[in-house]
């Protein structure tokens, strides 16, 4: 049985809506146990109204909510009874819990994860997002926004965590690419040029620089970049794909395939970013998450826990 803690508050939509995704996840997977953190009474009522019961759900009551307008450090000090911090505390206390899921604000997630869970080795925690190419093969982007200004050494750490993640996802020999403004080794900012050298020295899976277009046409399983560039890459991907689809619709092309593709690129609905580098993997859904998002990211957290992602990360750093 895999145990996951789920924070149902701090997102744009009400906890009862997000809880539906959690109920469905438990219904679909007999090996899954969920701690649902939020306003217990309302959640219990909601569950009763749906005529759903499960011994694999336990509620963790919280009277406070951390939102995007809270200062992360202050929220951590002042809102100990929030669903985010209650859930994170539970993860700290119970070593059987294999992952934490939340759609709360990124800053507060980072602060509480660092304070309560701590880091693996001396690693800078970062946000990983998985995307896929037209042929369906997945690749991941590290970092997607946690570390905005980075030294080159950090990018090597991101590469190692990305490799561990792709191994956990079933890719036996993940290839690593470095995001740059040119495919040649000499191209890039000063930091990217140094990172290219370090990756060539330290990461045998490194295959060279990748441009923004090569991300979709190349073969790199792990795209390494700082959090600023990764965020630009991720959000431009969403924006450009949705713009292209909007243009098609304006030209009269529509139908199920078009709608399906639009939904795929709508990270608000689909998406989850994985916070790696703390002692438990944390999946963060978008603040605009719907119940389907919660369903998807609980499934992703389950998979990471089953595949022991954090053991794989430690192995990448110790070389064991």
- Residues at the contact surface with a second copy, assessed by CB under 8 A: 133-135, 145, 148-149, 179-182, 188-190, 192, 211-217, 226-229, 231-248, 250-253, 255, 257-258, 260-261, 264-265
C-alpha span between 26 and 4 (Å, rounded): 11
C-alpha span between 314 and 26 (Å, rounded): 29
131: tokens are 């995307």
Q: How far is the CB of 189 from a second copy (least distance, A)?
A: 5
Complex with a second copy: residue 37 or 178, whichever CB lies closer = 178
Q: How far is the CB of 135 from a second copy (least distance, A)?
A: 8
Complex with a second copy: residue 49 or 149, whichever CB lies closer = 149
Q: How far is the CB of 235 from a second copy (least distance, A)?
A: 3
Complex with a second copy: residue 51 or 134, whichever CB lies closer = 134
Q: How far is the CB of 138 from a second copy (least distance, A)?
A: 13
Complex with a second copy: residue 227 or 285, whichever CB lies closer = 227
Complex with a second copy: residue 286 or 312, whichever CB lies closer = 286
Complex with a second copy: residue 121 or 253, whichever CB lies closer = 253
Q: How far is the CB of 137 from a second copy (least distance, A)?
A: 11
Q: How far is the CB of 239 from a second copy (least distance, A)?
A: 3
Q: How far is the CB of 175 from a second copy (least distance, A)?
A: 17
C-alpha span between 275 and 120 (Å, rounded): 12
Complex with a second copy: residue 50 or 189, whichever CB lies closer = 189
């Amino acid at each position: 049985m895999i145990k996951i803690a789920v924070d149902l508050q701090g997102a744009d939509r009400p906890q009862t809506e997000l809880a539906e995704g959690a109920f469905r996840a438990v219904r679909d997977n007999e090996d899954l146990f969920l701690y649902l953190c939020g306003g217990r009474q309302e959640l219990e009522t909601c569950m009763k109204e749906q005529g759903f019961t499960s011994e694999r759900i336990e509620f963790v009551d919280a009277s406070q909510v951390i939102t995007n307008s809270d200062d992360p450090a202050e929220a951590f000090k002042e809102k100990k009874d929030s669903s985010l911090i209650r859930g994170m505390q539970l993860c700290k206390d119970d070593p059987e819990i294999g992952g934490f899921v939340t759609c709360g604000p990124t800053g507060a997630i980072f602060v509480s994860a660092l304070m309560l869970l701590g880091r693996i080795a001396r690693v800078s925690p970062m946000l990983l997002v998985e995307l896929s190419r037209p042929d369906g093969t997945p690749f991941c982007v590290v970092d997607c926004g946690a570390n905005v200004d980075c030294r080159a050494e950090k990018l090597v750490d991101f590469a190692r965590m990305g490799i561990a993640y792709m191994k956990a996802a079933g890719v036996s020999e993940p290839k690593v690419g470095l995001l740059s403004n040119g495919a040649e080794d000499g191209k890039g900012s000063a930091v990217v040029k140094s990172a290219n050298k370090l990756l060539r020295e330290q990461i045998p899976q490194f295959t060279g620089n990748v441009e923004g277009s090569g991300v979709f046409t190349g073969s790199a399983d792990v795209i390494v970049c700082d959090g600023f560039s990764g965020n630009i890459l991720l959000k431009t991907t969403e924006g450009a794909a949705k713009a292209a689809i909007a243009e098609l619709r304006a030209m009269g092309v529509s139908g199920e395939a078009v709608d399906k593709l639009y939904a795929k690129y709508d990270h608000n609905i689909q998406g989850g970013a994985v916070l790696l580098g703390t002692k438990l993997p944390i999946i963060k859904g978008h603040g605009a998450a719907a119940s389907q998002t919660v369903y998807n990211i609980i499934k992703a957290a389950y998979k990471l826990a089953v595949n022991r992602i954090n053991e794989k990360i430690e192995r990448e750093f110790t070389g064991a």
